[in-house]
């Protein structure tokens, strides 16, 4: 199997309770060339916690002076990524970097260019019913509009060739990153490979931020990119 280098982009907004742990887990995998952390205007203790990592090898930290949205944080990270492939890693511990070998395997075997980690085909902590409905609706819409058979379009774990990701010219600002990047990949004729990953969804009292409004924006994003260049 071929050897590849991996950049991990970690968008962060008010994740003082978990950010240090996710960095530790990323370093533990030994699969990541660089960890690119983008603090998106955090107002809690996140900025002070990140200071301890500023001088560490292979850790790059960017700071947005104010909150601009997850999509903008990812776009900042994409500009700096230099690995052969790039993966998105949320800072809230819902996804476990121990799944990286599974995500990279089909790429190393030459079976795939883009790999998504599906939360609904692997072991997972049950999520809110209406969140599941929204996820299924968005994934079904993706499959209908773009003639594919994804099981989890909204997953955080997405792995792309870095050169491809830079050339997608992302315009997202918030959580619409997921439908935009998926639509643009599929419109290029690239079939997405899925592998099962573990998932431990958190509750709103634990800091979950996405809402029904983000789901509506995602739906509109899928439709817009289907019928635009």
Q: What is the pLDDT of residues 184-228, one digit of tens each?
A: 999 999 999 999 999 987 454 444 556 768 888 999 999 999 998
Of 188 and 1, the one with more pLDDT: 188
Q: What is the pLDDT of residues 67-106, one digit of tens each?
A: 999 999 999 999 999 999 999 999 999 999 999 999 999 9
Q: Could you please report the per-residue DSSP string of 86-147? A: EEE--SSSSS-GGGHHHHHHHHHTTS-SEEEEETTSS-EE---HHHHHHHHHHHHHHHHHHT
pLDDT of 118 > 90? The answer is yes
- Give residue 207's pLDDT: 43
Region of 192 on the Ramachandran plot (φ > 0 left; ψ -120 to 50 alpha; else beta): beta
CATH topology of domain 6-226: Spore Coat Polysaccharide Biosynthesis Protein SpsA; Chain A (3.90.550)
The answer, as to whether pTM is greater than 0.85, is yes
Q: What is the pLDDT of residues 159-188, one digit of tens each?
A: 999 999 999 999 999 999 999 999 999 999
Pair of tokens at residue 113? 């260019």
Q: Whole-number mean pLDDT of the chain?
A: 91
E-strand stretches of the chain = 6-12, 34-40, 59-64, 85-88, 114-118, 124-125, 158-161, 192-196, 199-200
Sketch the domain layout of the chain as residue ranges: 6-226
């Amino acid at each position: 199997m071929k050897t590849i280098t991996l950049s991990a982009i970690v968008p962060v907004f008010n994740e003082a309770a978990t950010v240090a742990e996710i960095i530790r887990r990323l370093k533990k995998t030994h699969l990541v060339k660089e960890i690119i952390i983008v603090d998106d205007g955090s107002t809690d203790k996140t900025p002070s916690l990140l200071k301890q990592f500023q001088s560490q090898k292979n850790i790059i930290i960017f700071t947005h002076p104010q909150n601009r949205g997850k999509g903008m944080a990812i776009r900042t990270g994409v500009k700096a990524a230099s690995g052969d492939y790039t993966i998105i890693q949320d800072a809230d511990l819902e996804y476990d970097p121990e799944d990286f070998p599974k995500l990279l395997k089909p790429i190393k075997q030459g079976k795939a260019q883009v790999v998504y980690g599906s939360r609904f085909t692997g072991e997972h902590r049950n999520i809110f019913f209406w969140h599941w409905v929204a996820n299924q609706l968005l994934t079904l819409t993706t499959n209908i509009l773009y003639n594919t058979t994804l099981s989890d379009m909204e997953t955080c774990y997405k792995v792309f060739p870095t050169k491809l990701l830079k050339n997608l010219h992302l315009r997202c600002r918030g959580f619409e990153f997921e439908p935009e990047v998926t639509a643009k990949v599929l419109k290029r004729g690239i079939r997405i490979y899925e592998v099962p990953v573990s998932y431990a969804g958190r509750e709103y009292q634990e800091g979950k931020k996405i809402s029904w409004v983000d789901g509506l924006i995602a739906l509109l994003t899928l439709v817009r990119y289907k019928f635009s260049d």
